[in-house]
Chains A and B, each alone.
Chain A
Amino acid sequence: MKALVKHRRLWSVLMLGVMGVFVTLSMALPLMTQTTFAEEAPAAEAKVEMGKDVYYKTEGPVSGAGWPEMGEKDYPSYNLPYPLSENRVLIWILAQQHLYFGSFVLAVPIFCMVIELVGMMVRDKAMAKKYDHLAYTFVKISLTAYSVTAILGGLLLFGFITFYPTFFAYIASLFKPVMHIYALLFLAESGTLYIYYYGWDKMSQGFLKWVHATMGVLLNVFGSTLMMLANSWASFMMSPAGVDEKGRFLGNMWHLLHTALWNPINVHRIIGNMVFGGGVVAAYAAYKFLAAKSDEDRAYYDWMGYIAMFLAVASLIPLPFAGYWLMREVYGYRQQMGITLMGGLLAWLFIIQAVLIGALFFATDYYLFAGMDRMKGAERYAKSIKYILFLTTAAFLVWLTPHTLVITPQELKAMGGQQHPVVGNFGVMSAKNGAVNTMIMTTIIAFIIYQRANKIITVKWATWGNAAIVAMFTVAMVNNWWLAIYGYYIPANVRVGLSVPQVMGTLTCLFVGCGINVAMMKGSKDLGPVLWGKISTRSQYALFVLAVAFTWLMGLMGYIRSSVRLFWHVMEVGRDNSPWAFTHTIGFAANVMTFNVIFFWTLTLFVFWLGEIGTKAAKTAHAPVPQPAIAGGSK
């Protein structure tokens, strides 16, 4: 043991080396598998039957069994009362719970890594310690959740094996090497996480701190790779590739992984996980804030809630763009799928999504404005709130307007058709793009105001800086609305392309607007310190709204993504022949989603409670740090 302590630098480097080998292996193995097939192919060319890839349209040797035509016996179920008599409902609940916890434990290490690195970069030692402690608190919360994720993953696997044995055998036969790598990576991730957490104190200084931070990076590499491998199974079911029309593997592992929707789903999920993880941590901080007995604790958890919310919202802003990319790829892959999603069977679920996204923006803006109570001088900006609220509300109303309405024959006659002559115009994508970009821009304005709430700008170019920011938002907003209106008058294929300049305009506001604002705050005078903990109790409920809305959204969008396959297990390759191969009603789906949300939050409260026990034991080692300074560009 003494030797271990004495040579801990050496051991740390060794450990990193082992982790590095795991990373290299995970990258190399899929390629090695591909090479093996490629080498085997020419030797047996004469005998081997060739097939044509359903997506890539390339020829390849048939290297596996085809899709098994399934009957009722392939769906063994318990004789449970409806709806649990449907295997898919049980799998739905297990998969959703696994995904919730999985998202959380994948996202939190990303935040830990960022916050730990920020702590290492900050020159002020007290601030560095505060950031370090915050990162430690984050990872502590996720530790118990990690075990719950693994347990739920095991349950989900057993669920697949017992409820869908034939289907699972087929998927396992295709993805065999990927599944083995997945298991190896899981091992590596667990090892890294435990070293990362338990080694926090031992590796807190000098070179070892850098080794620790590198462990944090590796942890995220493992986690993200794991997620991408699991995504390949879901994206294969939606947009199969690497197989022929009979579902037979054609020997190219990369084609199997790299389906049309794999990368859009990867990007969307990584960002979505970060939003969700930030939301859960913000809810944890709000819970601790409300339960805090001392001003010191209240200040700490207020600060923590702000940082978590900031990270969640920073990730939320690019999320609609990633979602838009995914939808474009869905349309590109199979137009009918896109129509089912956004203009057909599942379209009303997008209206629910719109309401939830609106709730997120309102909750964020409300929290930021409530947070201005902590700052002296914020009253100067109070009058601008009503304009921001007006714009957000107007955009929200356009955003949630459906294309067609559920109406009675009399109403239909009175309106002269399925579409309302005025409001109906807001039901199309052109209007929605304009609306969502408006909501994002108003949130950016709210954040800029928040950043400067307690400051007096002293830079010489303040007039020009302010003019540049105000003019930029004015022109960007008008340009965004112009593009939204212009979209009604041009062909559909050109209209779709208008979303890109709209996004670029919003991103300009985000980066240039915040950039100018931060530059303007250089040398600014403080009207007073940020009084952490001096925020209304109501604001903490806004954090709960954020977290619950994120949870609901994830469940909703996951259901939409999965049910768009309709009566296919594997789109256009493998039919779902189960007795329940139909799409549930929206009401039923909404009830299951809500059950999932409640169940997840019950389990999460249990995880928080367990964390609380741990906190009491470790309080001496990591006492809360009083009066932290503000993040996001100001002190």
Chain B
Amino acid sequence: MNSKTVVAFVVCLIAWFFYFQALDVLFMKIQGLDYFAGSGFAFGLFGSGG
């Protein structure tokens, strides 16, 4: 695997990460639901969130 492939893969990985995160938040919002309802768990590992 050459460096060009690695760079392309990493760039795409980051781009897709943001795409899928945006997709998650957007489609929860469309349903009137809060994606971050479990953020206690998601971002701080404080507990069960909900």
Residues of A at the B interface (CB closer than 8 Å) are 463-464, 466-468, 470-472, 474-476, 479, 483, 486, 489-491, 493-494, 497-498, 500-501, 504-505, 508
Q: Say yes or no: A504 contacts B23, CB within 8 Å.
A: yes
Shortest beta-carbon distance, A477 to chain B, in Å?
10
Q: List 28 A-B contacts (CB under 8 A).
A: A463-B5, A464-B8, A466-B5, A467-B11, A468-B8, A468-B12, A468-B16, A472-B16, A476-B16, A476-B20, A479-B20, A479-B24, A486-B41, A489-B42, A489-B48, A489-B50, A490-B37, A490-B50, A494-B35, A494-B50, A497-B27, A497-B28, A497-B33, A498-B24, A500-B30, A501-B23, A501-B28, A505-B20
Q: How far is the CA of A66 from the CA of B37 in the complex (A)?
A: 47
Decide if B9 touches A467 in the complex (CB within 8 Å).
yes
Query: 3 closest pairs, A vs B, by CB?
Result: A471-B12, A490-B38, A467-B8
Tell whether A497 pairs with B31 under 8 Å between CB atoms, given A463-B5, A489-B38, A489-B41. yes
A470 with B9: in contact, given A497-B31, A508-B23 (CB under 8 Å)?
yes
Closest B residue to A465 by beta carbon equals B8
- What B residues does A500 contact at CB under 8 A? 27-28, 30-31
In B32-50, the 8 Å CB interface with A consists of: 33-35, 37-38, 41-42, 48-50
User: Nearest-CB distance from A425 to chain B (Å)?
Assistant: 14
CB within 8 Å for A494 and B9 given contacts A475-B16, A479-B20, A479-B24: no
Q: Which of B20, B31, B33 meets A475, CB within 8 Å? A: B20
Chain B residues closer than 8 Å to A494, beta-carbon distance: 28, 33-35, 37-38, 50
Contact of A490 with B49 in the complex, beta carbons under 8 Å: yes
Task: A467-B12, A490-B37, A490-B49 given; name 12 further pairs at CB < 8 Å.
Answer: A466-B8, A468-B8, A474-B13, A475-B16, A475-B20, A489-B48, A493-B33, A494-B34, A497-B28, A497-B31, A498-B28, A500-B27
Contact B4 A463 (CB under 8 A): yes
With A475-B13, A489-B41, A494-B50 already in contact, the answer to whether A467 and B33 are too (CB < 8 A) is: no
Number of A-B residue pairs with CB-CB distance less than 8 Å in the complex they form: 83
Residue pair A489, B49 in contact (C-beta under 8 Å): yes
What CA separation (Å) do A471 and B13 show in the bound complex? 5
Q: How far is B48's CA from A467's CA once the two chains are assembled, in angstroms?
A: 36
In whole angstroms, how far apart are the Cα atoms of A467 and B13 in the complex? 8
- Tell me the smallest distance from the CB of A8 to a CB of chain B, in Å: 52
A490 proximity list for chain B (CB < 8 A): 37-38, 41, 49-50
Candidate in A483, A486, A493 with the most chain B CB atoms within 10 angstroms: A486
Q: Give Cα A489–Cα B41 distance, bound, in whole angstroms.
A: 7
Q: Which residue in A464, A471, A483, A497 is a CB contact (below 8 Å) of B16?
A: A471
Taking CB atoms, residues of chain B closer than 8 Å to A471 are 9, 12-13, 15-16
Q: How far is the CA of A486 from the CA of B5 in the complex (A)?
A: 32
Which A-chain residue is minimally distant from B49 (CB atoms)? A489
Instruction: Output the least CB separation between B24 and chain A (Å).
Output: 4
- Residues of chain A lying within 8 A (CB to CB) of residue B16: 468, 471-472, 474-476
Q: Which residues of A contact B27 (CB under 8 A)?
A: 497, 500-501, 504
Residues of A within 8 A of B41 (CB): 486, 489-490
Question: Nearest Cβ distance between residue B35 and chain A, in whole angstroms?
Answer: 8
Q: Measured between C-beta atoms, what is the minimum distance from B30 to chain A in Å? A: 8
From A491, which residue of chain B is reached at the shortest CB distance? Answer: B50
Bound CA span A475–B13, Å? 7
Query: When the two chains form the complex, which single residue of A486, A497, A501 contacts B42, counting CB atoms closer than 8 Å?
Result: A486
Return A316 CB to nearest CB of chain B, in Å. 23
Most B CB contacts (10 A, CB to CB) among A472, A474, A490, A494 go to A490
B15 to chain A, nearest CB (A): 8
Which residues of chain A come closer than 8 Å to B34, judged between CB atoms? 494
Q: Is the CB of A483 within 8 A of B24?
A: yes
Q: List the A side residues contacting B31 at CB < 8 Å.
A: 497, 500
Quick one: closest A residue to B20, CB to CB?
A479
**Whole-angstrom distance between the alpha carbons of A174 and B21 in the complex?**
49
Query: In angstroms, how far is the closest chain B Cβ from the Cβ of A134?
Result: 38
Least CB separation from B5: chain A residue: A463
Separation in Å of the A302 CB from the closest CB of chain B? 36
- Given the complex of chains A and B, what is the CA–CA distance between A498 and B30 in angstroms? 11
Please indicate the chain B residues that have their CB under 8 angstroms from the CB of A464 in the complex: 8, 12
Q: Which residues of A contact B5 (CB under 8 A)?
A: 463, 466-467
Select from chain A the residue with minimum beta-carbon distance to B48.
A489
User: Which residues from chain A contact B35 at a C-beta distance below 8 Å?
Assistant: 494
A201 smallest CB distance to B (angstroms): 50
Task: Give min CB distance, B2 to chain A, whole Å.
Answer: 9
What's the nearest-Cβ distance from chain A to residue B23, in Å?
5
With a CB–CB cut-off of 8 A, which chain A residues contact B49? 489-490
User: Chain A: which residue is nearest B14 at the CB level?
Assistant: A471
| Residues of chain A contacted by B42 (CB below 8 angstroms) | 486, 489
User: With A and B bound together, what is the CA distance between A258 and B21 in angstroms?
Assistant: 36
**Alpha-carbon distance A494/B19, docked complex (angstroms):** 21
Minimum C-beta distance from A484 to chain B (A): 12
Q: What residues on B are CB-neighbors of A467 within 8 Å? A: 5, 8-9, 11-12
**Least Cβ distance of A405 to chain B in Å?**
25
Residues in B neighbouring A493, C-beta threshold 8 A? 33
A505 to B41, CA, bound (A): 22
How far apart are the CA atoms of A466 and B4 in the complex, in Å? 12
Q: B12 to chain A: which residues have CB within 8 Å? A: 464, 467-468, 470-472
CB distance from A193 to the nearest CB of B (A): 41
Residues of B with C-beta under 8 A to A474: 13, 16
Q: B37 and A491: CB pair below 8 A?
A: yes
